[in-house]
Structure 1
Amino acid sequence: MSNILVFDSGVGGISVVREIKQLLPSVSIDYLFDNLYYPYGELDEVTLIQRTIAVIDCVAIEHKPQLIVIACNSASTTALPALRAKFDIPIVGVVPAIKPASKLSNSKVIGLLATQGTITRDYVEQLKINHASDCDLVNVGSNELVAMAEALYRGGKISQQRLLDICQPIFEQADVMILGCTHFPLLMECINQIKPPSLVIIDSGLAIAQRVKTLLDARVVKTKAPNDFLNHRALYTKSINDKSLIAALFSEGFNETTLITLPRG
């Protein structure tokens, strides 16, 4: 039976976990979120790369995943080359869905809703040049939306008016909006209540799951014995005192939650 590691700084990667579980129900998933350094969108690039490598290395040594998913746009657009140089197993990153958005757009105006860190990366501009040169790209960067998604996942309430204010530049100009942060699909229900009816919203979750399916050994995935136990674990780097978060994680199907302590040095 296959096991994979999905990584983010917060709970945003849960949106990717859901897609993977839907497509690959016989795969065990360790979900690692580095809540001690959350949010990654506010880290400088050097710190982000060093921290990502350190945390994943600590967990990979013990849990030995067959594949790693970097379910964090900030980490993916910054640390993927360093991660792939470090680890000898497949690593799947998150790419803002600029290419499919350009194909879906009739107006040739597409919007990218992401964190401030993501929209300023050269990587995003290169994606536009390579895959959407015929489109105008409306960039909206908001770290506040990450906090809103975290709060909503824990059962809290968010301001629909504030959500509208943040998304309005895209709503007014584009006919396709890209969710360029894995946290943002957690806000989908709220966004659907305020978006223009004709606006199409896309994210990378399903594409990531499909890539994972391609890379995993199909024979391993398909030969799950009836008594095999799916051990979905939630791993984190800072103690959680929030009972609502623990409850939300167990509701996703995680069997256990574990604090990970990195070695000193």
Structure 2
Amino acid sequence: MTILVFDSGIGGLSVLREARILMPGHRFVYVADDAGFPYGDWEEKALQARMSGIFDDLVARYKPAMIIVACNTASTVILPLLREKFSFPIVGTVPAIKPAAEQTRSGQVSVLATPGTVQRDYTRGLIAQFASKVNVRLVGAERLAALAEDFVLTGKVDEAAVAKEIADCFIERLGARTDIVVLGCTHYPFLTNVMRRLAPWPVDWLNPAEAIARHARTLVETPQQVEVVQDLAEFTGGRPQPDMERFLSGFGLRLVAGET
């Protein structure tokens, strides 16, 4: 069975990595809408229309058994529409606000996400539903996703820029410090070690990738016979740069020409 994993860039590879471990035997097709990256800058209706067209094309070509939308901003915009259109499971990615509220000791939680995710009513609804007794600070990081992509490809990062992006996550209130930062974008886990080093004090960085993969596994049948299959990747912006091609090859993905 084919499982589509979708993101605006390469951040969703953090989810793909976990899904492969938990769901062997499936063929994964990773789709990066790099032509639309970053999603945090889009107006909601325009972004919904764009993704709707992309998914119509992908479903027609790959006939997936499941779609994993491995992007917080995309999930807040497109999940209801996809679930209305298609009968197979659609798994989304939302900020891990509920587990953060359950795990915090200080009562001070920050959600680090793109400006688009921070501004969505969906995100604020999660806070109202699951974290009403916790102080949740929403931090919109304008450059962090792009910094993460550059870091993955080059191994280099502007630490001063990263420090600036995460600075607002750390607050002291009534003698209590932030103790959990929710990573509200699938790009951010690639920078966890960098952010950990730059943080003014230790916090738990909540990465939702494993939880997403565990949930996805419950929604599809496990193949009775596990076969070695070639996982694929395609980019809506056309063939990516050689550095990206080498990275994808090292990740076990064969690049195919996108038609979206």
Q: Same fold (TM over 0.5)?
A: yes
Query: Which residue does the alignment assign to 2:54?
Result: 55
How far is the alpha carbon of 1:192 from its aligned partner? Answer: 2.0
> Does residue 200 of structure 1 match 2:201?
no
Moved more, 19-28 or 29-38: 19-28
Whether 1:211 aligns to 2:212 is no
Q: Which amino acid aligns with 1:64?
A: K
Q: Which position in structure 1 is the counterpart of 2:185?
A: 181
Is this contact kept in 1: 2:139–2:168, CA < 8 A?
yes
Q: d(CA) in 2 for partners of 1:250 and 1:125?
A: 38
The code of the aligned residue for 2:107 comes to K
Measure, in 2, the Cα distance between the counterparts of 1:24 and 1:214. Answer: 10
Deviations 1:78-115 (Å, cap 9, x if unpaired)?
Answer: 11111111111110000100000011111111000000
| Code of the aligned partner of 1:107 | S
> Alignment identity in percent?
35
- In the alignment, what sits opposite 1:26? 25
Query: Does the Cα contact within 8 Å between 2:96 and 2:184 map onto a contact in 1?
Result: yes
- 1:248 matched to 2:247? The reply is yes
- Secondary structure of the residue aligned to 2:194 is helix
Q: Which amino acid aligns with 2:21?
A: Q
- Aligned 8 A contact 1:13 1:182 in 2: yes
List aligned pairs for 1:81-120, cutoff 5 A: 81-120=80-119
- Deviation of the 1:25 alpha carbon: 2.7
Q: Distance in 2 between matches of 1:224 and 1:47?
A: 42
Matched, 1:224 2:222: no
Unaligned runs of 5+ in 1: none
Q: Is the 8 A contact 2:51 2:78 kept in 1?
A: yes
2:175 corresponding residue in structure 1: none
1:42 maps to 41
SS at 2:170 equivalent: helix
Q: Which one of the candidate residues 247, 257, 260 is aligned to 1:259?
A: 257
SS of the equivalent of 1:148 reads helix
**Distance (Å, rounded) in 1 between the aligned partners of 2:57 and 2:146:** 27
CA distance in 2, matches of 1:86, 1:51: 15
- Superposition pairs of residues 66-85 of structure 1, within 5 angstroms: 66-85=65-84
CA contact (8 A) 1:110 1:175 kept: yes
Rounded to whole Å, the distance in 2 between the matches of 1:32 and 1:9 is 8
SS of match in other structure, 1:192: helix
Inter-partner Cα distance in structure 2 for 1:143 and 1:98: 20
When the two chains are superposed, the root-mean-square deviation of aligned CA atoms in Å is 1.4
- Deviation, structure 1 residue 59: 1.4
SS at match of 1:154: helix
Q: Which runs of 4+ in 1 moved over 4 A?
A: none
CA distance in 2: counterparts of 1:253 and 1:56, whole angstroms: 23
Per-residue deviation, 1:171: 2.6
Unaligned runs of 5+ in 2: 173-177
1:132 corresponds to: 131
Give the deviation of 1:250 after TM superposition.
Answer: 0.9
Q: What letter corresponds to residue 255 of structure 2 in structure 1?
A: T
In structure 2, C-alpha distance between the alignment counterparts of 1:189 and 1:22, rounded to whole Å: 22
| Whole-Å separation in 2 of the counterparts to 1:112 and 1:213 | 26
Question: Offset at 1:240?
Answer: 2.9
How many angstroms apart in 2 are the aligned matches of 1:186 and 1:26? 26
The letter for the 1-side match of 2:230 is: N
Q: Which TM-score applies when normalising by structure 1? A: 0.92
Aligned-partner Cα distance in 2 for 1:60–1:155: 33
Amino acid at match of 1:70: V
